[in-house]
């Protein structure tokens, strides 16, 4: 019995979430600073080099266009997820929200024309805000709550679409230009997403709002004692996730012109989380580099291409994503002795 009690240091805080500063001495994973600064870009460059060596076709012609087109929706969802992870929560409903957003847009394009995308973003911001309000004010675990909203949103898109495919029959030109090639031959929508990532980076690093969000993620109790409106900051993070899911929905309509409950976008959940985590976002909160998430999303889009080049069947894609998510968290996880991880 005595050996058991001595292995647990008496100095570790009693709260389940260990303070990051206390873990530096005993950690074994990669230092988060190093990973955050260079890791995501390095992983992408190495993976891209390997793929290019095996399959030179990816360098020329439609290769880069396909890659960035695939990465756009993942990047948008991942940026929203990164914001939620940044305040220490998780949003499991964002892929379902993206599909619902695509349906809302498809239905709104006819009557509202150019205003439809804006309406879509507003509706999805409201969906995200409801998630945030419930998490912040009723103090329930975000994974359980967003699992519930995932069910509600899935049912909503089944009802909206009447269990079939919804086509954007009129005014398709309002969004169809998003995947026209622009700067450097890459689609407009991808550059939009990159601009959003850079703006998000500026907000996090240069504004008091960003600092406050970081404070909530690093130590929520301390943030409350500092007089921050922690609950509204969480609502803001979840609303941003909703807006980004809506933007991903706009991309779905722009690419496919239609949306269905089990079609394009319904499998964005894990790729989105993977992109955020590979991009250097810590699941414990407070550590996010939106520019890293851009490389995370590119890596996620590249993984199936690399896997095919290596001779792995594309059917193993979800298996690879699963392994990548676990590996990304395991590599950066804190391993303080005696800390309780649920």
Q: Is 30 left (phi over 0), alpha (psi -120 to 50) or beta?
A: beta
Q: Is residue 342 near other proteins by the rule CB under 8 A?
A: yes
Q: Is residue 140 near other proteins by the rule CB under 8 A?
A: yes
- Judged by beta carbon, residue 3 or residue 60, the one nearer other proteins is 3
Q: Is residue 333 near other proteins by the rule CB under 8 A?
A: yes
3-state secondary structure of 259: strand
**Cα atoms in the Cβ-side hemisphere of radius 13 Å centred on 209:** 12
- Judged by beta carbon, residue 207 or residue 221, the one nearer other proteins is 221
| Site of tokens 């390095």 | 42
- Judged by beta carbon, residue 100 or residue 168, the one nearer other proteins is 100
- Judged by beta carbon, residue 25 or residue 342, the one nearer other proteins is 342
Q: Is residue 340 near other proteins by the rule CB under 8 A?
A: yes
Residue whose C-alpha is closest to residue 297's, from 38, 71, 64, 76: 71
| Site of tokens 């391993």 | 335
| Site of tokens 């009447």 | 162
Residue 254: its H or E element = helix 230-256
Under rule CB under 8 A, which residues in 252-281 are in contact with other proteins?
270, 273
**Minimum gap (Å) between residue 282 Cβ and other proteins:** 11
- Judged by beta carbon, residue 38 or residue 140, the one nearer other proteins is 140
- Extended strands (E) in 42-170: 166-167
**Minimum gap (Å) between residue 175 Cβ and other proteins:** 27
**Cα atoms in the Cβ-side hemisphere of radius 13 Å centred on 106:** 26
Q: Is residue 334 near other proteins by the rule CB under 8 A?
A: yes
Report the alpha-carbon distance of residue 249 to residue 106 in Å, rounded: 9
Question: Which one of 59, 141, 169, 226 is in contact with other proteins (CB under 8 A)?
Answer: 141
Beta carbons within 8 Å of 75's beta carbon, 6+ residues apart? 190, 193, 194, 197, 275, 293, 294, 297, 298
Residue whose C-alpha is closest to residue 303's, from 291, 290, 314, 289: 314
Question: Which one of 15, 59, 113, 202 is in contact with other proteins (CB under 8 A)?
Answer: 15
Question: Which one of 154, 239, 241, 260 is in contact with other proteins (CB under 8 A)?
Answer: 154
Under rule CB under 8 A, which residues in 178-217 are in contact with other proteins?
none
Question: Which one of 5, 11, 60, 208 is in contact with other proteins (CB under 8 A)?
Answer: 5
| Site of tokens 């991903």 | 248
Site size toward other proteins (CB under 8 A) is 64
Binding mask 72-101 vs other proteins (x if CB under 8 A, - otherwise)?
A: ----------------xxx-----------
Please count the other Cβ atoms lying within 10 Å of the Cβ belonging to residue 252.
26
Q: Is 66 exposed, middle or buried (0-12, 13-18, 19+ CB in 10 A)?
A: middle
- Judged by beta carbon, residue 8 or residue 181, the one nearer other proteins is 8
- Judged by beta carbon, residue 42 or residue 323, the one nearer other proteins is 323
**Residues binding other proteins (CB under 8 A):** 1, 4-5, 8, 14-15, 17, 88-90, 134-135, 138-145, 147-156, 158-159, 162-163, 220-221, 224, 270, 273, 283, 285, 313, 315-326, 329-330, 333-335, 338-342
């Amino acid at each position: 019995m005595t050996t058991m009690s001595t292995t647990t240091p008496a100095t570790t805080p009693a709260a389940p979430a260990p303070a990051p500063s206390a873990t530096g001495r005993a950690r074994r994973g990669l230092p988060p600073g190093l990973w955050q600064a260079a890791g995501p870009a390095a992983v992408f460059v190495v993976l891209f080099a390997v793929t290019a060596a095996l399959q030179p076709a990816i360098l020329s012609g439609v290769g880069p266009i396909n890659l960035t087109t695939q990465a756009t929706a993942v990047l948008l969802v991942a940026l929203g997820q990164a914001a939620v992870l940044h305040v220490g929560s998780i949003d499991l409903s964002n892929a379902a929200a993206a599909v619902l957003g695509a349906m809302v847009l498809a239905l709104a394009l006819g009557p509202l024309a150019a205003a439809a995308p804006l309406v879509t973003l507003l509706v999805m911001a409201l969906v995200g805000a409801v998630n945030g309000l419930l998490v912040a004010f009723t103090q329930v675990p975000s994974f359980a709550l967003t699992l519930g909203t995932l069910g509600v949103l899935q049912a909503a898109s089944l009802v909206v679409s009447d269990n079939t495919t919804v086509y954007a029959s009129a005014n398709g030109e309002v969004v169809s230009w998003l995947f026209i090639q622009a700067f450097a031959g890459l689609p407009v929508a991808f550059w939009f997403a990159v601009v959003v990532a850079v703006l998000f980076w500026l907000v996090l690093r240069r504004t008091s709002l960003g600092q406050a969000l970081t404070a909530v993620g690093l130590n929520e109790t301390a943030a409350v004692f500092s007089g921050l409106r922690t609950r509204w900051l969480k609502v803001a993070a979840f609303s941003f996730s909703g807006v980004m899911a809506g933007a991903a929905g706009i991309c779905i309509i722009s690419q496919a012109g239609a949306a269905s409950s089990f079609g394009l976008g319904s499998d964005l959940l894990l790729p989105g989380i993977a992109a955020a985590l590979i991009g250097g976002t810590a699941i414990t909160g407070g550590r996010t580099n939106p520019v890293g998430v851009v490389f995370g999303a590119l890596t996620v889009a590249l993984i199936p291409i690399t896997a095919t080049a290596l001779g792995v069947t594309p059917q193993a894609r979800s298996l690879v994503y699963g392994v990548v998510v676990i590996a990304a968290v395991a590599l950066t996880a804190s391993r303080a002795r005696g800390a309780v991880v649920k």
